[in-house]
Structure 1
Amino acid sequence: MLRALSLALPQAALPALLMVVIINLSSLPQPAGASELGKRKGWVIFESEKPYETLLQDLRAAVKAEGLVVVTQAGPTQAAAARGITIPGNRVVGVFNNDYAVRILALSTAAMIEAPLRFYVTEVDADHTHLAYKRPSFVFAPYLNEGGGRLLRISTDLDRRFAAIAQAALH
């Protein structure tokens, strides 16, 4: 494209045109840094001074104590290490139980795509981690037209339980 434009512009104008293009490109939104989680709609984010592995263990114990089950766990940290790449600890922990699954399925088949609901543990450095999750009421909001007030009550109950899990894991 610049080549086609250069035919119509005097050679002296090309550096100015190139500067305009660079300035315009640099004003576009840039990706955020990967080390910190920023505020996002529907998310609850906590900072912790617990080491990554300790926070993960405490999260798993808190989930169990609250009567939910760790259904899934996934993260790139170990796979990256196996490839010789070191990255900060990063783990998504899926949490749910069969009681909620059966109750939600009775209200909205589509809503079950959101299960299990997830906690996200990220390591910033050796003594600084984040624990985050999307509020269940936020996650299930798109399905309220199908599930109505009963789905709203389930999701707000899950909000309470997720908050309790987070507090227990952080302390």
Structure 2
Amino acid sequence: MRWIIPMTLASLLCFIAPSDSLLAEPYSPHSGVKLIETTIPFDNFTERLTGAISKNKMGLVAQACANCGAKSIGVTIPGNRVFMIFRPDFAVRMLAASEAAGVEAPLRLYVTEQSDGTARLSYRLPSHVFGAYEVADLDRLGAELDVILAQIAQDALQ
């Protein structure tokens, strides 16, 4: 039973202090992921993104801040933020089309700070997320949300 604590601590340290090879891993988005490199500093971009979400009438449901959590335990990592967004009318339409699709909301916009201090934005295309359900109403919703997320990204870049 004594080995559980050291194993747990060792496992946690792997996540807190990743190896250099892990940090240097090239980013390659998965299928259905939109990737946008910016020239905008991380903090500035996250502010712009918050404004763009509001401007495009999407609700900011929550945020997750990995670098904030790391800082709380005395570890410094590059900026890392997930913006979770959705809107009640889209939720109603999504659930009417497929209750199972409820697990996909809110949609997530992921902003990471690059080594030069700039922000990278990535997100799964809603059409890709909802397309997996093979429900026509979700396909239409996903296509509509693709346009909104693209506009949010565009607005944040300006």
With normalisation by structure 1, the TM-score equals 0.76
Amino acid at match of 1:136: P
Deviation at 1:96? 0.3
Instruction: Choose from 138, 153, 158 the match for 1:166.
Output: 153
Deviation digits for residues 3-61 of structure 1, max 9, x if unmatched? xxxxxxxxxxxxxxxxxxxxxxxxxxxx7645653232100001111111111111111
**C-alpha separation in 1, matches of 2:25 and 2:45:** 17
Aligned length: 138
Other structure's SS at 2:77 match = coil
Aligned residue in 2 for 1:108: 98
Greater radius of gyration (CA): 1
Aligned residue in 2 for 1:157: 144
Instruction: Choose from 108, 117, 130 the match for 2:107.
Output: 117
Amino acid at match of 1:151: L
Deviation digits for residues 62-111 of structure 1, max 9, x if unmatched? 11111101101102111111211110000110010000001111110010
Aligned residue in 2 for 1:82: 72
Structure-2 change in CA distance of 1:107 and 1:62 (3 Å): same
1:73 and 2:63 matched: yes
Structure-2 change in CA distance of 1:36 and 1:121 (3 Å): farther
Stretches (4+) displaced over 6 A: none
Amino acid at match of 2:153: A
**C-alpha separation in 1, matches of 2:62 and 2:102:** 15
Q: What is the percentage of aligned positions where both structures have the same residue? A: 39
Other structure's SS at 2:51 match = helix
1:95 and 2:85 matched: yes
Stretch moving more, 62-71 or 35-44: 35-44
RMSD after superposition = 1.6
**C-alpha separation in 2, matches of 1:137 and 1:70:** 20
Amino acid at match of 2:101: A
Amino acid at match of 1:56: T
| Structure-to-structure mapping, 1:1-171, within 5 angstroms | 33=23, 37-144=27-134, 148-171=135-158
With normalisation by structure 2, the TM-score equals 0.82
Amino acid at match of 1:81: K
Structure-2 change in CA distance of 1:128 and 1:138 (3 Å): same
Question: Which runs of no fewer than 5 residues in structure 2 stay unpaired?
Answer: 1-20
Aligned residues of 1:35 and 1:124 also touching (Cα < 8 A): no
**C-alpha separation in 1, matches of 2:130 and 2:151:** 19
